[in-house]
Chain A
């Protein structure tokens, strides 16, 4: 499988300070590759350098050292730009244009003309759910609508590779679901998707591979299935109507009891405990079992671990 994106030792220094400019290393020797058709999640806390990486790939920034290739050609090559789509973080466009006009402008820049451009623009706007608002000026769009227009302009040329910087930002749950489905459709079509996010649940449901960036360095990367052990860590039981006597009795047997609102409690059991017997016991003592869930290691746990370790390395603890 050919590599759609190849990044090698990519670094970026910014000069900070007016009188004695000192370099601030925003990205440190990033090496990464993404195969065609993959959905790659580029994760990390705020300020890790994710946006910097995306801008370097789109040649909005020039690297200090290192290189990047997209579809076999150097990043920023005009031929590459024809086959690539980009959604910037917190996008902003030309307020005075309507959604339709903006996309038509971009479509024409891609070489689409006349009826071809019109139909493509209409289709893309429908895909992102802006069919009805296409004739409104962009200055009248809500944040969620602007985000969707941003997606639309990233997809107007039916790209082979899309780069999305925080694609879910500003969207309500309905919008996020919509975008998730869109991204899955892109994957099904064979498009390579490279997106950055700090919302991990999105990555869990979408990605085949992830990379975690912290303080400019890639601290972990690999297949999701490899990263997450999927070993059982324990059980979580949510109960209601637990009276204090029963609670006191159970406390030493279990790993932890946490009070939730409205008289509900969360009880955590060790992985080797037998949940069926426990539930039975609870029901016998008059409590009401609301739910029983297995606890597996999540991406969040992994994330916190990796980032924490990176920070520890930094400060030398």
Chain B
């Protein structure tokens, strides 16, 4: 007679536990193989299921601000991702919808309006190049909150992107009239009216933006613009000297070795971004090097017509 089986003890899990990592490894291995020859699925355009701010507000059941924060993070990541993308050309189609959602859910979310003001209007490829979207967003902000910042930003968009200096000045004036608005708005309005397009006015505009905000990306943007203006000033100076040289020498400067010593420079001058300037050997003109991060420089607007003396108030 065979020995009776051992008394039924609690079943051991040793084999099952040994199988677990093997199965998991198999699953992961299959995934790796699958991913080898297929790129991960990337939708053509980003998906935004809800476009209506009101609908999302309804569904948030009182948690509007936190949903606004989520969309804000999404907007920031979306914009940054598109701008830095190296594989596909940037596509900013969703930016306006995202910012619209954020501001509908949380009408006081001021940074979203200002972000839109700057980056919706940015020319392609840095942004979608849709200044009218920026203005629409800011208009809604003004309706909801009446803040001077949004009026100022509207004027800004008119000034810098649409080159409509009269309209810009009008908006700066409106902003100045909001109680509690800073005192530099009124003179800014006047200057814009008088010398819109003038580089000095533009510089003031960007300097005010720099001073009025602490958001790192906004400051960075303003500093970048100011550097561009500095570069333009620098180029103007150097090109004036280059013309003098050409006039005195009878031929254009063909290199820095030629021009540099003549105008008292040692070595090759750097642009505000630290990249050496280039000189065109054919025309003798100084310009930014092709690899300068400051390119493309903003368009030089046509010189403003001479300002008419302020007539009787219309």
Q: Do chains A and B touch in the complex (CB under 8 A)?
A: no
B residues sitting closer than 8 Å to A (CB atoms) are none
A residues sitting closer than 8 Å to B (CB atoms) are none
